[in-house]
Structure 1
Amino acid sequence: MTSPYRVVLGAAFDELHPRLRTYFDAIPDGAVGRGSGVFETVGTPRRWVWPVLAWFARAHVMFPVWERDVPFTVSNRAVMAADGAPAVAATRSFDLTALGRRRTALMVDEIGVSGGALIDRLGDPVRAEALFRATVRDGGLRLRSTAVRLVVGGRRVPIPRLVAPVVVLTERWDDAGGRQEVSIVVAVPVIGRIYQYTGRFRYGIEKGERSE
């Protein structure tokens, strides 16, 4: 199965750092990509946003927290999207602390291809969809959202561009540390940053499935 990142980037895919090509290339049938690391920050200190994030948290998208040094794992699997395009289904597990107690929160999404762009279907059930423009810079991948829509009652509701959140994801390889760096920032016009997570992790492809 072809990687959605390779489909969208075309020849630019080979400009990625070799270790990032492993991460973004097609995952062999019967294999799973697994990684683990630590996020330096997760969430937002703007507590007035938390009620909205709580709605997304019920579908495993974003969480109403502001935490540091959060251990996490990620697992990626190659799937076929409902529209028949190649996709990658990802599950990220965050080891959060709430009121002094540890709890695990999941983020679930599926990256596919739509109209020559990457599309991220967020949540289980899907709560939002974001279209991304993908570029390669200095061996790293940068995704910037071009459109965001909510999924409510099975209907896709576009958010007007003037008020739509802008999602920026960057992935780089740190040669010195031997780890992958990831950063996601969600910002809203006028208001500014309302959500983020930034950290480092190690990743590899494992042959065969194993129980979670």
Structure 2
Amino acid sequence: MTPVPQSPYARALGERIHDLHPRLRAYFEAVPDGAVGVGDGVFQSVGTPRRWIWPVLRLLERRGVVAAAWEHDVPFGIENRTIASRSIGERTFHFARGPWVMRDAVALTRHGRVVDELGEPGLVAACFDVDVADGALHLTSRAVGLRLGRLRLRLPRAFAPVVRLTERFDDALDRQRVDLTIDAPVLGRVYEYRGDFTYRIQHLEDREQHP
């Protein structure tokens, strides 16, 4: 019998995945073959109001990492897939200036942590501790690195930003909530997004019939 594939999150959490809200488990478990995880929602805020940081963010924006923006009520869409035991995600932000796509790929390290490679081709990588509290998933970065050609450079802890992500399900709204912050030493908050969305697993043949 072919083993059922597991997502990096499920492997990192082990039995703790059952502590997640049931609707979150559908999001963080593996997407079945022949299917895609689809979400639609609105970010209440995206980016940073500190415009002097935007020139640096624009370099990362071109590679699909973060957006040089500060906007509110931004519609967005999600597509998740599981490929070769990695969670592949694509987020389309519909800014006032037009759509922008953030791409990432999540894998499991040999130490049991998840590593998220952002942009193309994995320009920025962050290694996370994974925790569950009150049914929500919490990620806190332990290390952040850059890929420069074939060279992988880990940022010293004294200079590395700290990325925190919380995903929880709001039963009252019947929607999933996401809250991400990036804080840099000395500078403080340099990027964030928060919003809510609906999510479902859609089989590709159904998608072709009902796009």
- Fold-level match, TM-score > 0.5? yes
The CA distance in 2 between the partners of 1:190 and 1:21, in whole Å, is 36
Which of 60, 74, 77 does residue 64 from structure 2 map onto? 60
Q: Structure 2 residue aligned with 1:113, among 105, 108, 117?
A: 108
Q: CA deviation at 1:208?
A: 1.6
Q: Deviations over 1:95-123 (max 9, x none)?
A: 0013xxxx000000001111211000101
| Residue of structure 1 equivalent to 2:96 | 97
Q: Please give the secondary structure, in 1, of the residue aligned with 2:78.
A: strand
1:138 to 2:142 alignment:
no
Runs of 4+ that moved beyond 4 A = 209-212
Equivalences, count: 203
Counterpart residue type for residue 66 of structure 2: M
Structure 1 residues 123-160: Cα deviation after superposition (integer angstroms, max 9, x where no partner): 12221100000000100000000000011112111100
1:151 equivalenced with 2:150 (yes/no) = no
Query: What SS class does the counterpart of residue 17 from structure 2 fall into?
Result: helix
Q: Which residue of 1 aligns with 2:22?
A: 18
More strand by share: 1
**Equivalents in 2 of 1:28, 1:38: separation in Å?**
26
Kindly state the Cα deviation for residue 35 of structure 1 after the two structures are TM-superposed: 0.2
- TM-superposed CA distance for 1:52, in Å, is 1.1
- Correspondence for 2:87: 88
Partner of 2:163: 167
TM-superposed CA distance for 1:56, in Å, is 0.7
TM-score by length of 1: 0.93
In structure 1, what is the equivalent of residue 119 of structure 2? 123
1:9 to 9, 13, 25: 13
**Hey, what does 2:55 align to over in structure 1?**
51
| RMSD over aligned Cα atoms | 1.2
Which residues of structure 1 form unaligned runs of 5+?
A: 81-85
Q: More displaced, 192-201 or 202-211?
A: 202-211
Aligned residue in 2 for 1:83: none
Q: Which amino acid aligns with 2:200?
A: G
Could you tell which deviates more after superposition, 166-175 or 48-57?
Answer: 48-57
- Using the TM superposition, give the Cα deviation of residue 55 of structure 1 relative to its aligned residue in structure 2, in angstroms: 0.8
Worse overlay, 121-130 or 163-172: 121-130
1: CA distance, partners of 2:120 / 2:134: 34
Q: Secondary structure at the match of 2:123?
A: strand
User: % of aligned pairs identical?
Assistant: 47
Matched letter for residue 188 of structure 1 = A
Flag structure 2 segments of 5+ consecutive residues without an equivalent.
Answer: none
Q: How far apart, CA to CA, are the structure 1 residues paired with 2:57 and 2:151?
A: 20
Tell me which residue corresponds to 1:41: 45
- Deviation for aligned residue 1:16: 0.1
Matching residue within 176, 183, 190 for 1:187: 183
Structure 1 Cα separation of the partners of residues 150 and 63 of structure 2:
14
